[in-house]
Copies of this chain bind each other. A is one copy, B any other.
């Protein structure tokens, strides 16, 4: 195993650059920090694994799995790991992985292998914590794919990756998708386009909503500040509202998505 002890090593600078979206796109790689995310990554693909000197024994399984998927494994000082990462505590392990996003066509094909006949379209999701939480929820509930429209945060952004808690490696994700392309692809693939909106005439939790969610459905969750994109709203075949009764005007994007996706699961797998 190669050993890294200088924070001035060109490799450190190279990894640091991957915190920038443009460099990630150029290099085709992103950074994954901490044992939880890295153990999801080694089930997928890893280019380089960096392990703190005093964590080599603790992470021997992860190191073996990384070798098995063809990763180069390096040991490094705590200072080197800290210099590579965004967080104060990279927890002894950092991986550089190939970008995980796929085309719309691939995402929709892969979606057919998952538990729910459902994909989620995040419309200009610009909060990384919310985007990551939606990816995590989608994974947990068996949602087929997550589509991030143009103007959304890059799913390989460090804060998104951390918020997914490893789920970024489990769900097919298409990103930077133009709205028109998203509409065309999901419609062609046979998904009913359903927008979540407070003004929707179909109320979630009713028989009407269950009938809508019973078949293949593409949920559109709008931007928190601006709501659902005009083109998506116009193209939506159904608009569904979450029943509310308190003083709140709206839900957080990730909370709204969790409720819509859970309701879809109940409609598609009742009594499970």
Chain A residues in contact with chain B, CB under 8 A? 40, 114-116, 129, 133, 136-143, 163, 165-167, 169-171, 203-207, 242-252, 254-259, 262-263, 265-266, 269-272
Contact A271 B207 (CB under 8 A): yes
Interchain CA distance A256-B262 in the complex, whole Å: 10
Interchain CA distance A245-B265 in the complex, whole Å: 10
Contact A141 B205 (CB under 8 A): no
Contact check: which of B133, B170, B244 meets A255 at CB < 8 Å? B133
Interface centre among A242, A250, A262, A271 (most CB of B within 10 A): A262
Q: Please indicate the chain B residues that have their CB under 8 angstroms from the CB of A252 in the complex.
A: 133, 136-137, 163, 165, 254
Could you pull out 15 A-B pairs where Cβ atoms are within 8 angstroms? A116-B245, A136-B252, A136-B255, A139-B247, A142-B244, A142-B246, A165-B252, A166-B248, A169-B247, A170-B247, A207-B271, A254-B258, A255-B255, A258-B258, A259-B262
Q: Tell me the minimal C-beta distance from A167 to chain B in angstroms.
A: 5
Contact B258 A205 (CB under 8 A): no
Contact A247 B115 (CB under 8 A): no
Contact check: which of B246, B258, B271 meets A206 at CB < 8 Å? B271
Q: Please indicate the chain B residues that have their CB under 8 angstroms from the CB of A251 in the complex.
A: 136-137, 140, 258
Contact B206 A142 (CB under 8 A): no
Contact A245 B205 (CB under 8 A): no
Contact B255 A243 (CB under 8 A): no
Q: Please indicate the chain B residues that have their CB under 8 angstroms from the CB of A142 in the complex.
A: 244-246
Q: A139-B248, A171-B246 are in contact. List 13 more A-B contacts (CB 8 A).
A: A136-B248, A136-B252, A140-B242, A140-B244, A140-B245, A140-B250, A141-B243, A141-B244, A205-B265, A205-B270, A206-B272, A251-B258, A259-B262
Contact B245 A115 (CB under 8 A): yes
Interchain CA distance A76-B220 in the complex, whole Å: 42
Contact check: which of B133, B138, B203, B246 meets A143 at CB < 8 Å? B246
Q: Please indicate the chain B residues that have their CB under 8 angstroms from the CB of A258 in the complex.
A: 251, 254-256, 258-259
Q: Which residue of B lies closest to A171 (CB)?
A: B246
Contact A165 B250 (CB under 8 A): yes
Contact A170 B246 (CB under 8 A): yes
Interchain CA distance A244-B263 in the complex, whole Å: 13
Interchain CA distance A48-B246 in the complex, whole Å: 26
Q: Tell me the minimal C-beta distance from A265 to chain B in angstroms.
A: 7
Interchain CA distance A221-B247 in the complex, whole Å: 22
Q: Please indicate the chain B residues that have their CB under 8 angstroms from the CB of A169 in the complex.
A: 247
Q: Please indicate the chain B residues that have their CB under 8 angstroms from the CB of A254 in the complex.
A: 133, 252, 254-255, 258
